[in-house]
Each structure stands twice: as C-alpha cells, then as structure tokens.
Amino acid sequence: MIGAWGLGLGAWGRESRFAHLSGGPLRTRVAALVAAFILLAISTFAADWKPADPACRIELPRDHAAHPDAKIEWWYYTGNLTAADGRRFGYQLTFFRAGVDPRPVNPSRWAVRDLYLAHFAISDLSRGRHLYADRLNRAGVGWAGALAAGYRVWNEDWEVALDGAGRHRLRAADGGMVLDLVLEEGKPAALHGESGYSRKGPSPGNASHYYSLTRMPTRGTLTVDGERVEVTGASWMDHEFGSSFLEPGQRGWDWFSVQFDDGTEMMLFQIRRGDGRADPFASGTLVDAAGRVTHLDARSFALEPGATWTSPASGGRYPVAWKVLVPGAGLALDVRAAFPAQELRTEDSTAVTYWEGAIEVSGVRAGRPLTGRGYLEMTGYAGRDMSEVLR
C-alpha cells in the first residue's frame, strides 16, 4: 500500500486527548495549530532523513523492526475473519511512525524525534457496521514506540509483536471494541516493485521499501459492543518505510489487496493526480499459490471505477465498485465493497479522511470462475490534498 493516512498529524501526543474532550472550535484550532507546527518541523528536517535506496535488500525477520533513519514508516494489518456462527468481520490495525527531528538538540526524553500514530477498525459485515478509533502519542515515558532490534510496535495498549514462535500478536481495545489475534506468517514475503524498492514518482528517492505477507492464517477473538466472538480467517500485512512519497500534483491513491480462493493473491495501486487522471507510477504484484511473485507495471492492468457512495459525514464520493483487468494474467474481476460505509475520519491522529474497508471479488482467470476477499483503501476523495502531507 502507499499508506492509510498521509501525515496530517491532527494533534500532539497526550494533548490530543485534551482536544478530543474539548470538542467544537477549540478542538479544531488545537488540531490546526499543532498540525501546522509538525508539518513545518518535518519539512525543515526532510533532508536529514535517509531516502529509499534500490541497493538495499529486505531481510526478514530483521526488517519487520523499525528503521529510525527513514522519515515515514508504517506497519499495516487487515483481514477477513469468520465466527463459528458464520458471522463475518473485517479488521484494520495500522501503526505509523512519523519522523519530526532526526537529531533533537534537547537531551530530554520529552524531545520529539518521532510521533507514533495508530488506526484501529472493525467492520461487522453481517450487520453493515463500521467502528474505528485512532490515537497519536510521543515516545515520552513509553507511551508509544517501535523497536529497531526485534519486532514490537505499540501505542499505549495497542500493540503488535512477534512471539517466541515467530507469530504476530495483535492487540487493541477501545471501549466495546477489542481485537486479540495470532497471525502465522504463511507464505514468504512478497517484495513489491524492484525487489522491494517501490517507486512513487520520477524524483530520486521518491520511493519506499515495501513488502507484504499476503496470506497469514489468523485466529483469536474480536469484541464488538461488548460481545466477544472467536474468529478464524486470513490477514494481510504491509510494511513500508522511506522518506519521500508523493510528487507535487499527486492527490491520492486507490490500493487493492485480494486473497483469491485458489490460494493466490494480488496487490494493485494507482496514484491519482489532481485532475483525476491516473499517474504513470502505478504498480502491482501477483503472488501464485507457491509464493512466487510477478511484478506489474502501470501498463499491465486497468482499474475502472463504478458505483459510488457519498459519505454523509465528509461529503467524500468514493467508488465502491470497480472493474479490474490484468490481461497478461487473464484476470477480469468485479470488486465491490462488503458494504459502503467504511470511511475513517482520523481527527485525533492524522487529520486525514479516507475509505478503508473489506471487499468481495468475483470474476475469471483465463476463463475459469474466481472469487476472493480483500481490502480496498481510497484516499484523496475528501479533506486534505495528500500531496501536501507526503512530500
């Protein structure tokens, strides 16, 4: 993926709690002032962060850990899960690290080198309900962080870490919404782009290091409105890190991850320009049942938006149905949202509004019927221009 968010950074650490409780105009002013300050700091120190380098090679599990020399980094999990009674759920748990000052002069532990943000959502597909929460913190006295040696990322009591058996443990709770899952790594990691170097534009270094674990057997529990259910299914993990992402004029993106029922997977993204046209720096990856990867460039696939849903909260008009063609692989697919209302408005963290939700896929591969499930992310349809916050 390219990100779920931008770096809108709508509040500062614990102060975000104050803004949340205050509500109304005060909250808006606090968020705007802090976002402006942080964006200025990020811009000021941008040259001091290490750009993505095509000579670097991703190695796991080493590169699950944080990369403090990159300005922007995220760990992103989504999945489609089923309860014993047949109820279906989607989930998203995403952790972000946003570099502010690579060499803070102030020796205090309160000096802000990085900010840590997180988004958490559960989609109850059987009832058409989407619940979400977000948060932002400084490292401070351990409120949030990401280890550079070993894999653990946390934001207060939201956490992902590797256990002793190499499994990914995900935990998050917000009110009556709780997630507690164990994920096996499943297939080998899929390296996107050029051996994990994923270009986003023509400028040197405007790229990320990007890999995915595309089919992670998953088990555990979800709690929705206080009701705890055991679930099983499959998850997808993305990890990206770099220091420069969007070019001027690139407004947002559409990103698809699909797990097909024949044991294969697909990732596609396109970046949209301000005039609505697709940017030439689109990319994708096909993963076969054995884990072998085929890279797709912008000429290898086509994305055609269909029916739309308009958010009553943001006014954003999102395509919730798509036709996807990958002629070289014989793929002709219909993609549709499991239900339309899966928008996140992250006022307590990134201040970015975007659509992220479970999808259902049907179509053909080389003339044979094919079905699958996955996740779709759409940014730049409401609120801030993403190029303002990811350059």
On whether residue 10 sits in a domain, the answer given is no
How far is the C-alpha of 159 from the C-alpha of 116, rounded, in Å? 12
- Identify which of 23-27, 54-58, 93-97, 386-390 has the greatest average pLDDT: 93-97
197-253 per-position pLDDT tens digit: 888 777 766 788 999 999 999 999 999 988 999 999 999 999 999 876 566 666 789
Full residue range of the structural domain in which residue 226 is found: 15-388
Domain membership flag for residue 8: no
Residue 9 lies in a domain: no
In a domain, 374, yes or no: yes
For residue 13, the model assigns a pLDDT of 37
Burial classification of residue 174, based on how many CB atoms lie within 10 Å of its CB (0-12 exposed, 13-18 middle, 19 or more buried): middle
For residue 3, being part of any structural domain is answered with no
Q: Which of 148, 140, 173, 149 is nearest to 159 (CA)?
A: 173
Looking at residues 77-90, what average pLDDT do you find?
Answer: 97
In the chain, the amino acid numbered 170 is: L
Across the range 12-32, mean pLDDT stands at: 35
Q: Crossing angle for the helix pair 15-22 and 24-44, nearest 10 degrees?
A: 150
Question: Does residue 2 lie in a domain region?
Answer: no
Residue type at 304 in one-letter notation: E
Give dist(CA 5, CA 96) in Å, integer.
Answer: 9
Q: Is residue 329 part of a domain?
A: yes
Number of domain units in the chain: 1
Q: What's phi and psi for 299, nearest 5 deg?
A: -80, -10
> What pLDDT, on the 0 to 100 scale, is given for residue 36?
41
Output the domain CATH number for residue 148.
2.40.370.10
Give a yes or no: residue 89 inside a domain.
yes
Residue 210 β-bridge partners: 240
Q: What is the pLDDT of residues 31-61, one digit of tens each?
A: 443 444 444 444 444 558 888 888 999 999 9
